[in-house]
Amino acid sequence: MQPVSLTRFLLEEQRAKGLINADLRLLIEVVSRACKSISIAIGKGSLGGALGSAGSENVQGEVQKKLDVLSNEILLEANEWGGHLAALASEEMDDPHPIPHRYPKGEYLLVFDPLDGSSNIDVNISVGTIFSVLRCPDGVSEPDAQAFLQPGAKQVAAGYAVYGPNTLLVLTLGDGVHVFTLDREMGSFILSQQNLRIPEETSEFAINMSNQRHWEAPVQRYIGELVAGTTGPRARDFNMRWVASMVADVHRVLTRGGIFLYPRDTRDSSKPGKLRLLYEANPMSFIVEQAGGAASTGHQRILDVQPAALHERIAVILGSKNEVERVSEYHKTV
């Protein structure tokens, strides 16, 4: 069978199904090309002089890696001039990035985390890029932060790239989840899996156990039951996996099932979670739901949350549907 490239796949989605228009197709192709450039930079490692700290901090006060800055620049430069975007927003920048006036503007907004899990770069563990596409609100010609504050349910596309032993692009257009593998010789993303489905049952969980003492009661109860194994109320053993790169952890869940938790804890009442709603939680929740899973804060569906700020943080519980629903039920009893 003839390999199906990302470009061909998108054209077929446009022509046969009418799921996307030409501008959205172009946007996704441009993002995929940027991901290929990021993959090349990561693949060179120390040979490319891009490892280590950039000596700066992002808007969240986190120390930036050189590859954080480089990945952000690659995505900005790739998407500025195509005429398919009204504006961009990045986890690495305080404010939205406007399209320069010398270029035409489109109807979409692009939101991205240019290099998720970058703290793992120096130890050669998988990292990734996460992106989300929204429509620019009607009548808005100069989008500001307010234009981006849309619930995740309004996303028209979302995806992520995994830079691991091979480079993968995982994509949803709101009609299932599909995986493309980068053929390095051809320089193209090739369709390798279609319509991924997350099993409703699982025996794996992913959580940062070092934060256990800070978790709220519902999460303490849930994880306690899993750790108790065959001697506990679940009467079976569970395995824990934790990479500390959301892309890698969620991709494992998407591939073979599981539940991923970065819950709210008691350390800082002003921060309802660690992960960013717009850049991480919304796109990943959209993908997980499209694969038959579920995504919740513990109290509500993530995709229903109305964002209040560009860099808002949120609790995230996502993955196999039955386990996410169980954790959510535990939150109702507190």
Nearest CA to 315 out of 324, 323, 255, 145 is that of 324
Is 115 annotated to bind a ligand? Reply is: yes
Cα–Cα dist 192/195, whole Å: 10
Give the pLDDT confidence of 112-160 residue by residue, as tens digits. 999 998 888 788 889 999 999 999 999 998 999 999 999 999 999 999 9
pLDDT tens-digit map of 253-310: 999 999 999 999 988 877 889 999 999 999 999 999 999 999 999 999 999 999 999 9
245 labelled as ligand-binding? Answer: no
Confidence of residue 64 (pLDDT cuts 50, 70, 90): low
Contact 88, 95 (CB under 8 A): no
Ordered domains of the chain (ranges, CATH): 6-193 (3.30.540.10), 204-332 (3.40.190.80)
The DSSP-derived string for 127-195 is EEEEEEEEEPPTT-SS--HHHH---GGG-SEEEEEEESSSEEEEEESSS-EEEEEEETTTTEEEEEE-S
Q: Considering the chain, what is the average pLDDT of its residues? A: 92
In the predicted structure, residue 248 carries a pLDDT above the cut 60: yes
Q: Is residue 116 part of an annotated ligand binding site?
A: yes
Query: In angstroms, rounded to a whole number, what is the distance separating the alpha carbons of residues 298 and 201?
Result: 18
pLDDT at 97: 96
Q: Which range has the worst mean pLDDT, 64-73, 178-187, 230-239?
A: 64-73
Say what the pLDDT of residue 62 is: 58
User: Residue 329, annotated ligand binder?
Assistant: no
What is the DSSP secondary-structure string of 246-277?
Answer: HHHHHHHHHHH--EEEE--BSS-TT-S-SEEI
Class of residue 135 by CB neighbours under 10 A (exposed 0-12, middle 13-18, buried 19+): middle
The reply, when asked if residue 23 is annotated as ligand binding, is no
**Any binding-site annotation on 117?**
yes
The CA distance from 174 to 156, in Å, is 7
What's the average model confidence in pLDDT over 62-74? 82
208 is in an annotated binding site: yes
Angle formed by the axes of helices 282-290 and 246-256, to 10°? 10
- What pLDDT shows up at residue 271? 81
Would the CA dihedral through 240, 246, 247, 253 be positive or negative? positive
